[in-house]
Amino acid sequence: MNESMDRVLADWLREGPETGPREGLERALAATRRVGQKPGWALPERWIPMQLTMARTPSLRPILAIATVVLLTLALVAAALYIGSQRRPLPAPFGPARNGAVVYSEAGDLFIANQLSGEARALVSGPDTDSYPAFANQGDRVAFVRETDGGFQVMSVNPDGSDLRSLGELPGGLDRMTWSPDGTSLLVSYSDTDYKGLTAAVVNADGSGLKELATGMTTDYATWRPDSNQIVFRGHDLEADTSSAYIVDADGTNLQRLDIPSQGDVDFEGMTWSPDGKHLSFMSAGELSGLTGWQINVADIGADGSVTALHPLRFDPDADEEYYPSWSPDSRQLAFMREKDLRRQVGIANADGTGFRLVGPETVTPYMLGPTWSPDGKTLVITEIPDFEPLRERQRKMWTVNVATGAHDEVQTPVATWQRLAP
């Protein structure tokens, strides 16, 4: 059926003009002559590692400097021995935690950084393309996807760069990847080669294998329910030609449809659990409340997977659209993108729809990543994706926002995933 539509669509798209009006080109060229060029990236940090661009500190006198270095080295060795002898406590897998390092990908390598200072070092580097890093909820392991000539591999590594291992070959291109609550496995969604939708699989974190989540449907937005063995996804039953949200145990049993009305599968996207596992947010295209544009909905989900209440939300009545909801670590607030007259800004509100306020910078850039909470819930990271080359994380513009005050600062360190540490 979709194959048939693909053919019809391709034929139909080939119809129509192949050329634009000559005067259109002339107008466009004239318009470019009325504007100047922006300078290249002014900050050297955009181009070369930040460590090389940091200001030098005044040097000490040689003997004093050497003595200081020796003492510091001894102190560091002692501290490392002490820390190494202590088993670092792991945080609970959900809820507020202490902020750790951040990991991001750049030019096919992974880097680990201190988000505040910007100091970064390579975590994984080499000829392969490594991307989509994701910290385990316990903060003790980083998963990522390695693209090689032979395909895609799910990989993992310790935050110190040790114990790099392959967890299995991914049968297609990645869509999303999330860790299981207990950190023993990963849930991956990938595309097949025939564009027939997405498939989900559970990958064992010890490298012992990958098992497809057999639901009989395509599985989009597959994501693990916190503190449970359940997975929620948007499924499309290819045989019945129906689509809905479903919840299923990680072993593929107890499949049930979630009673969430949706008017169309394209306009029902981005399901995300609150960290306490009680609420599921998703975006829909307005029909649930008669509004235009994307809106955010929150469904209350019982332990058995039943929908106990559905809340279509419009936090700002004047907004054109609200999208990309992101739960605070304590599950009490949502941060999201709020758009009005093509201007985008982050909104924060209580999950019940009250307490709306705008924070951070306003931007007109078409693409913004959804806001990311720091593990302690005190900071939001906002990322603007410029129209520059994709995949170059350092060319993105980023800000941190103080959740309490709403004040923001531009920062240089990308945040693809943030390490959670025990308080």
Residues 81-100, interacting with other proteins (CB under 8 A): none
Among 209, 264, 302, 355, binds other proteins (CB under 8 A): 264
| Region of residue 416 (phi > 0: left; psi between -120 and 50: alpha; otherwise: beta) | alpha
Stretch that binds other proteins, among 63-71, 116-124, 201-209, 240-248 (CB under 8 A): 240-248
Q: Identify which of 3, 407, 387 has the alpha carbon closest to the alpha carbon of residue 195.
A: 3
Binding test (CB under 8 A) with other proteins, winner from 119, 128, 249, 265 = 265
User: Is residue 150 within the footprint of other proteins (CB under 8 A)?
Assistant: no
Question: What is the DSSP track for 350-391?
Answer: ETTS-S-EEEEEEE--SEEPPPEE-TTSSEEEEEEE-SS-TT
Radius of gyration (Cα) for the chain, nearest Å? 24
Which residue in the set 156, 243, 274, 374 belongs to the binding site for other proteins (CB under 8 A)? Answer: 243
Q: Which is nearer to other proteins, 101 or 174 (CB)?
A: 174
CB of 397 to other proteins, least distance (A): 11
As a whole number of angstroms, the distance between CA 319 and CA 323 comes to 11
User: In terms of C-beta density within 10 A (0-12 exposed, 13-18 middle, 19 or more buried), how is residue 19 classed?
Assistant: exposed
Q: Which of residues 57-76 bind other proteins (CB under 8 A)?
A: none
- From residue 294 to residue 323, the character string flagging contacts with other proteins as x (rule: CB under 8 A) and all else as - is --------------------------x---
**What strands lie across the sheet with 151-157, from one edge to the other?**
129-135, 142-148, 151-157, 165-170
* 236 lies in the binding site for other proteins (CB under 8 A): yes
Where in 10-39 is the site for other proteins (CB under 8 A)?
10, 12-21, 24-25, 27-29, 31-33, 35-39
Locus of tokens 């060029």: 37
Residues from 129 through 148 that contact other proteins (CB under 8 A): 132
Site for other proteins in 36-55 (CB under 8 A): 36-41, 47
The number of residues that bind other proteins (CB under 8 A) is 82
Q: Which of residues 345-404 bind other proteins (CB under 8 A)?
A: 366-367, 385-392, 395
Choose one: 96-104, 194-202, 207-215, 414-422; the region binding other proteins (CB under 8 A).
194-202
What's the Cα-to-Cα distance from 411 to each of 49, 253, 401, rounded to whole Å? 14, 45, 10
CB of 296 to other proteins, least distance (A): 16
* Extended strands (E) in 59-119: 98-106, 109-113
Least separation in angstroms between residue 18's CB and other proteins is 5
Among 55, 81, 83, 240, binds other proteins (CB under 8 A): 240
The H or E element spanning position 232 is strand 230-237
